[in-house]
């Protein structure tokens, strides 16, 4: 285990099983529909890569990047589009793919701007949810795991751009971010 992590929260086996299950549910729910999965960079890229390989219906992918946290584990509430979609989503069935919903600020903003573009539907699939930290009420349609209020890294999730490459999801040691 990496020396900066305290413990494994979700193992590779648990992640794999959940991603398989989510893929099956999405394949059923989007049967006969033209699905566009929108991964939110950078955290969601590992989850997105695994998730789409478990979706058996036709799915196109695109990505957005928004900045909300910067180099801190606390939200500033400031969300800015750094990279937008490459296509018009009017009439499309859009699925936002996130690694984690924490305060909900990022997702709330994304939902607002994507809904304004008049897609046929917009839903949200997140691997992790930290409901105790919510600051705005956002609806999550598909959730992998509800987790306690601890800072987690790995499987795409970072602290200061580190640890995204770790294969499982871990609780980061407090001394790493409380200085
Ligand atoms: O619910 P919130 O409090 O808004 O937090 C969740 C968001 O924060 C993280 O992204 P971050 O801004 O760290 O970018 P990253 O994906 O590049 O790490 C995470 O990937 C979500 O997008
Ligand atoms: O626990 C977390 N880990 C990584 N990124 C995050 N963004 C919001 N919460 C988290
Ligand atoms: Mg981050």
In a domain? residue 106: yes
Residues of the chain with pLDDT under 70: 68-78
Residue 77 confidence (pLDDT): 57
Q: What is the CATH number of the domain that holds 88?
A: 3.40.50.2020
Residue 67 confidence (pLDDT): 84
Ligand 3 center–CA 33 separation, angstroms: 31
Residue 179 confidence (pLDDT): 73
Report how many domains make up the chain: 1
Work out which ligand 1 atom sits closest to the CA atom of 67. Answer: 12
Domain that holds residue 42: 11-148
Ligand 3 center–CA 157 separation, angstroms: 6
Strand 59-67 vs strand 35-41: parallel, antiparallel, or unpaired? parallel
Residue 75 confidence (pLDDT): 56
Quote ipTM for the complex: 0.98
Q: Decide: 151 in ligand 2 pocket, CB within 6 A.
A: yes
In a domain? residue 59: yes
pTM value? 0.95
Residue 122 confidence (pLDDT): 98
In a domain? residue 116: yes
In a domain? residue 37: yes
In a domain? residue 172: no
In a domain? residue 153: no
């Amino acid at each position: 285990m990496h020396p900066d992590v305290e413990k494994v929260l979700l193992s590779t086996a648990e992640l794999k099983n959940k991603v398989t299950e989510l893929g099956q549910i999405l394949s059923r729910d989007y049967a006969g529909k033209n699905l566009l999965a929108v991964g939110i960079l950078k955290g969601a890229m590992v989850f997105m890569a695994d998730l789409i390989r478990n979706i058996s219906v036709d799915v196109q992918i695109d990505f957005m990047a928004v900045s909300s946290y910067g180099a801190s584990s606390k939200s500033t509430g400031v969300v800015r589009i750094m990279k937008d979609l490459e296509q018009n989503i009017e009439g499309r069935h859009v699925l936002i793919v996130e690694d984690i919903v924490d305060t909900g600020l990022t997702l709330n903003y994304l939902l607002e701007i994507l809904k304004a573009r008049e897609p046929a539907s917009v839903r949200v699939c997140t691997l992790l949810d930290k409901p105790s930290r919510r600051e705005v009420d956002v609806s999550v349609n598909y959730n992998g795991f509800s987790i306690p209020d601890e800072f987690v890294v790995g499987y795409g999730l970072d602290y200061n751009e580190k640890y995204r490459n770790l294969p499982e999801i871990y609780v980061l040691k407090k001394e790493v971010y409380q200085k």
